[in-house]
Amino acid sequence: MSFTSVVKNEISKHEFNEAGNISLLSAFISNSIFDDNHIKISTENASVARYIYNLVKELYNLHPKVTVRKGYNYNKKFLYIIEINNKVDVILKDVGLESGNIPKSFVIDDTEIKRYYLKGVFLLSGSINDPKTSRYHLEFVVDDNEYASFLSDLLNSFNLNSKYLKHENKYMVYVKEAEKIGDFLRIINATSALFYFEDIRIYRDHKNMTNRLNNCEQANVDKMIESANRELKDIDLIESIGGLDLLDEKVKEVAIYRKKYPEVSLQELSEIISIETGNNITKSGLHHRLRKIKDLADKIRNKDNS
C-alpha cells in the first residue's frame, strides 16, 4: 500500500465535524464534475468513497448512487463513482459553488474550516511520496489555473511554501520541503502518518549529516596525505644533493621526523617530536619549519631549471 493510501485511509476514518462538514464537502465537489443537475465524485480509494457517501448521507439524508469500475489505461485499481442527482441546487448553494469550482469565502473564512477543506482536497486530488523510498514531495493535481492559484494561496496561508505549474493538460500544486510536508500532515490531522513521516525524516537527516561529516573527514585525510607527500618530495630533493646539512638543526630535525612518520597529521607530528625530543613544538611552529624546507626545495628546482 502506498504512503498516500495510508494517509487517506487514516483521515477518512475521522469522525464528522459539524463545523467542518460543509468545507469538506465543498472541497470534494470542487475537485469533481458537477453542474446544476448532478454531481459526480470519483476516487480510487474505497475508504474515501465510503467517507464521501456517509458525509452526503449525514448532511442531506441522501443515498448517492455508487458505481464501481475498473481503472482506465490498464490501471488495476477500481474507480469508485459517487453520483448525486437530488437536492443538487441546495447542496451547491450550501457549499458555495453556485458559480464555479472556487468556493465562496464563507467556506474557508477561518483556520479550522480551512483545515477541513484541505483535508477534502487531499482525499480527492492529493498524493505524497513515501519519505523512505523517494524524495520529499506533496502534490495536488487539479483541472485549471485559477483553482491551482486558489489552492496554492490556501496552502500558503499556513506558510507551506507551495508552488504550482502546468503539467500536460492539468495543473500541479506542490510542496517539496520535508518540514512543510510534516506541517501539512499536522494540518489535516494525519497523526499516525505524521509520526511515521517524522521518524523517517529524522533518520534520513541524521544519515545525511553523518555522510557529510564522513565526506568532510575523508577530504581532510586526502588533503593531509597530499600535503605530506609534497613535504616528503621536498625533503627527498634536498637530501638527494646532500642539502640537509644546509638546514639549521631544528629544521633538519623536522625533516627527519617527517620521513620517519610520513602518514601523520601536522598536529600528530608536532606531538611526536615534542614527546621524543623533549623540545615542545606547536603545529604552527612545525608548519613554519616545513615552510623553510619548501623554500629551499623551490630554490633547488629553480636552479635546475635555469
What is the per-residue pLDDT across 143-165, written as a single tens digit (0 to 9) for each? Answer: 999 999 999 999 999 999 999 99
Give yes or no: residues 130 and 276 share one domain.
no
Residue 196, domain member (yes or no): no
Residue 203, domain member (yes or no): no
Give how many domains the chain has, as a whole number.
2
Q: What pLDDT, in 10s, does the model give residues 38-88?
A: 999 999 999 999 999 999 999 999 999 999 987 665 566 789 999 999 999
Residue 245, domain member (yes or no): yes
Q: What pLDDT, in 10s, does the model give residues 174-202?
A: 999 989 999 999 999 999 999 998 888 87
Residue 197, domain member (yes or no): no
Q: Where in the sequence is the domain holding 128, given as residue range(s)?
A: 3-189
Give yes or no: residues 169 and 280 share one domain.
no
Last residue of a domain, one of 189, 218, 236: 189
pLDDT computed for residue 243 by the predictor: 73
Q: What pLDDT, in 10s, does the model give residues 100-153?
A: 889 999 999 999 999 999 999 999 999 999 888 768 899 999 999 999 999 999
Give yes or no: residues 214 and 286 share one domain.
yes
Q: What pLDDT, in 10s, does the model give residues 243-263?
A: 777 778 888 888 888 888 887
Residue 195, domain member (yes or no): no
pTM over 0.85: no
Residue 202, domain member (yes or no): no
DSSP per position, 236-266: HHHHHTTGGGGS-HHHHHHHHHHHHSTTS-H
Q: What are the angstrom distances between the C-alpha of 240 and each of 234, 236, 243, 253?
A: 10, 6, 7, 17
Residue 246, domain member (yes or no): yes
Give yes or no: residues 31 and 156 share one domain.
yes
